[in-house]
C-alpha cells in the first residue's frame, strides 16, 4: 500500500497538486491543480460524463449557478441540519470536529470524549467544552448592502441545482420516465478540520446524478445504477475490485433525506474511507421545493396521464476523492536495472500524456528535426503528447515514469535510415522498434 506522504510529495514534485495560495503561506482545505493535475482531473471528469451521460439516452446535463436563492437551502434542510459536531479544547482553545477525535458517532458528547480519554491533538490535554453543531454552509452577501436581506450561500452540493431545474427540463424537453439529470461543478463546505490531502477539503468538485423514477420502481432502478457505478469504478477508472467495498449505511447514520444509502468505500493510504455514495432520496427534495415555492413539481406520465412527484436515486461522486483513489492505485515503487524507481501506472485513458517524444541526442540537428516531425504527427493524432529533450535518456524515462506516461518514443540514428523509432513501455520498460506510421 502506498503512503499518503509519498503521493503528496510526487504530486508537488511533478506538478499535479499544490497547496492553495502556497506563496502566501497556504490556506487550509484548499488545493490548486498544476499542469498534470488538471489533465488527470479533466480526463476523470470527461470519462464520467461520457459513461453516464453521452453513452446513455436517459441522461441529460445541466449546469446551475453556484449562487442560488437562499430559500433553496431552507427547503433542502441544509440551513437546519447541514452541520458537524464542533468541540473546543478549554486548554489551548483549538477547535476540532468531535467525531474525528476517536471512534465516535456524529452525536458524540463531551462526556463521551472525556470518558474515552480523547486527547486534544494540539496540546494533549483532556479538557473539552460542550459539543456544538456547526453549520458548514459558507455564507456571503449579494449586492451592495451586507444585511439579512442580502444573505446568500455558496452551494453545499450540486444536487440542489438539479432539483431546482427539474420543472424547467420537464417543460422544455419532456423526457420519458425514468430519466436522469447530471451535473459537474464546485461545491463548498466549511469543514471544521480539513485533512488527508484532497480527501476532505473546503472547496471541491462533485459529479452528481439525480435519477427520477416512479415511486414503485425505485428498488430496481437503484440496483441498476449500483451495477453501473461498479462498472465505472472498476472498468473505466480501473480501480482494483478488492479495494472497493459496499457499506449499506444503517438508518441512524444516513442523511436526513435518505431511505437507503450505499457508500462505496475504498482502501486509501489513510484507511478504508468513503469514495462515493448512492442514495434513495424518495420525493424529499421535489416535495420540499413544491411546498416552499408553490410551484407544481408533478410529472405527468405520457402513456397513462398519471401524475406524481417523482422519487429520486442519487449517485454522487467527489472528484478529488476519485483523483486520490486513482493516484493510490497507480502509485508504485519498483526496481529497474538494479536501481529503484517511482512509477505511476495510470490507465492509458487517464494518463496526462499518452506519449513522450524525445531525440536521443539534443545536440544533433538531424535528430531534433526528425523528432519534432514525429512529435507533430502524434500531437495531431492524439493531442495529449509531450516533448522532452532535457538530460540523458535514462533521466527522461524516470521522469515520464513518475508522471505516468505509458509510452516514450525515442528518435535515434536508425530512425533516419528506416523511419522506425524506439518505443519504451512504462510498466515493463521493454523497448521495441516500431514504424512511425504504425504509432
The domain locations on the chain are 4-63+153-327, 353-438
Please name every residue paired with 267 in a beta bridge, in sequence order, or none if there are none.
Answer: 272
CA distances from 267 to 2, 195, 223, 248, 318 (A): 10, 16, 23, 17, 16
Q: To the nearest 10°, report the CA torsion of 39, 65, 312, 322.
A: 20
List, as one string, the DSSP characters of 220-277.
HHHHHHHHHHHHIIIIIS---GGGEEEEE--GGGS-TT-SEEEEEEEEETTEEEEEEE
CB atoms near residue 430 (< 10 Å)? 9
Question: Which residues, 6+ apart, have CB-to-CB distance to 339 below 8 Å?
Answer: none
Whole-number Å distance between alpha carbons of 405 and 420:
20
Q: Which residue has the cell 536495472?
A: 337
Q: Which residue has the cell 462505496?
A: 264
Q: What pLDDT score does 420 carry?
A: 95
Q: Which of 392, 322, 370 is nearest to 51 (CA)?
A: 322
* SS3 state of residue 186: strand
Of the candidate CATH numbers 3.30.930.10, 3.40.50.300, 3.30.420.10, 3.50.50.60, the domain formed by 4-63+153-327 belongs to: 3.30.930.10
Instruction: Kindly give the interhelix angle for 319-330 and 4-13, rounded to the nearest 10 degrees.
Output: 100
Structural element, H or E, at residue 93: none
Question: Which residues, 6+ apart, have CB-to-CB distance to 138 below 8 Å?
Answer: 153, 154, 156, 188, 189, 190, 202
Q: What pLDDT score does 118 carry?
A: 94
Which residues of the chain carry a pLDDT beneath 50? none
Omega within 30 of 0 (cis) for the link into 317? no
Q: What pLDDT score does 1 carry?
A: 67
* SS3 state of residue 381: helix
Structural element, H or E, at residue 314: strand 311-318
pLDDT, tens only, 352-378: 999 999 999 988 999 999 999 999 999
Whole-number Å distance between alpha carbons of 30 and 194:
9
Residue 210, C-alpha cell as written in the block:
439525480
**Neighbour-count burial of 338, counting CB atoms closer than 10 A to its CB (0-12 exposed, 13-18 middle, 19+ buried):** exposed
CB 201 within 8 Å of CB 222 = no
Q: What pLDDT score does 32 carry?
A: 96
Q: What pLDDT score does 191 carry?
A: 87
353-438 — its CATH code? Answer: 3.40.50.800
Whole-number Å distance between alpha carbons of 101 and 114:
11
Amino acid at each position: 500500500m502506498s503512503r499518503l506522504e509519498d503521493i503528496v510529495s510526487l504530486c508537488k514534485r511533478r506538478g499535479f497538486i499544490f497547496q492553495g495560495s502556497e506563496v502566501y503561506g497556504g490556506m487550509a482545505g484548499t488545493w490548486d491543480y498544476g499542469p498534470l493535475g488538471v489533465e488527470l482531473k479533466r480526463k476523470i471528469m470527461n470519462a464520467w460524463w461520457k459513461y453516464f451521460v453521452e453513452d446513455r439516452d436517459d441522461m441529460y446535463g445541466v449546469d446551475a449557478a453556484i449562487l442560488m436563492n437562499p430559500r433553496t437551502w431552507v427547503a433542502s434542510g441544509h440551513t437546519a441540519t447541514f452541520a458537524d459536531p464542533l468541540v473546543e479544547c478549554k486548554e489551548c482553545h483549538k477547535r476540532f470536529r468531535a467525531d474525528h477525535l476517536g471512534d465516535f458517532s456524529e452525536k458524540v458528547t463531551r462526556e463521551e470524549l472525556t470518558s474515552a480519554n480523547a486527547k486534544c491533538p494540539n496540546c494533549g490535554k483532556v479538557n473539552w467544552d460542550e459539543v456544538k453543531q456547526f453549520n458548514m454552509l459558507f455564507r456571503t452577501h449579494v449586492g451592495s448592502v451586507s444585511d439579512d436581506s442580502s444573505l446568500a450561500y455558496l452551494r453545499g452540493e450540486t444536487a440542489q441545482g438539479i432539483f431546482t431545474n427539474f420543472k424547467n427540463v420537464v417543460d422544455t424537453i419532456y423526457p420519458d420516465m425514468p430519466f436522469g439529470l447530471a451535473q459537474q461543478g464546485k461545491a463548498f463546505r466549511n469543514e471544521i478540520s480539513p485533512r488527508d490531502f484532497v480527501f476532505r477539503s473546503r472547496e471541491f468538485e462533485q459529479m452528481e446524478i439525480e435519477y427520477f423514477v416512479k415511486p414503485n420502481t425505485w428498488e430496481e432502478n437503484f440496483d441498476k445504477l449500483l451495477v453501473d457505478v461498479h462498472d465505472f469504478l472498476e472498468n473505466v477508472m480501473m480501480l482494483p475490485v478488492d479495494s472497493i467495498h459496499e457499506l449499506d449505511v444503517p438508518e441512524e447514520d444516513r442523511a436526513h433525506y435518505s431511505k437507503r444509502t450505499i457508500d462505496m468505500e475504498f482502501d486509501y493510504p489513510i484507511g478504508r474511507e468513503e469514495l462515493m455514495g448512492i442514495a434513495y432520496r424518495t420525493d424529499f427534495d421535489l416535495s420540499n421545493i413544491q411546498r416552499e415555492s408553490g410551484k407544481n413539481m408533478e410529472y405527468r406520465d405520457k402513456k397513462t396521464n398519471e401524475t406524481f412527484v417523482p422519487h429520486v436515486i442519487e449517485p454522487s461522486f467527489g472528484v478529488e476523492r476519485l483523483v486520490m483513489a486513482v493516484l493510490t492505485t497507480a502509485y508504485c515503487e519498483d526496481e529497474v536495472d538494479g536501481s529503484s524507481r517511482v512509477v505511476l501506472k495510470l490507465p492509458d485513458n487517464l494518463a496526462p500524456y499518452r506519449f513522450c517524444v524525445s531525440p536521443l541526442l539534443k545536440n544533433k540537428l538531424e535528430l531534433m528535426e526528425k523528432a519534432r516531425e514525429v512529435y507533430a504527427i502524434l500531437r495531431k493524432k492524439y493531442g495529449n503528447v509531450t516533448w522532452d529533450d532535457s538530460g540523458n535518456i535514462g533521466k527522461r524515462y524516470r521522469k515520464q515514469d513518475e508522471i505516468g506516461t505509458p509510452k516514450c518514443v525515442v528518435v535515434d540514428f536508425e530512425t533516419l535510415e528506416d523511419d522506425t523509432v524506439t518505443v519504451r513501455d512504462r510498466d515493463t520498460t521493454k523497448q521495441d522498434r516500431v514504424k512511425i506510421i504504425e504509432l
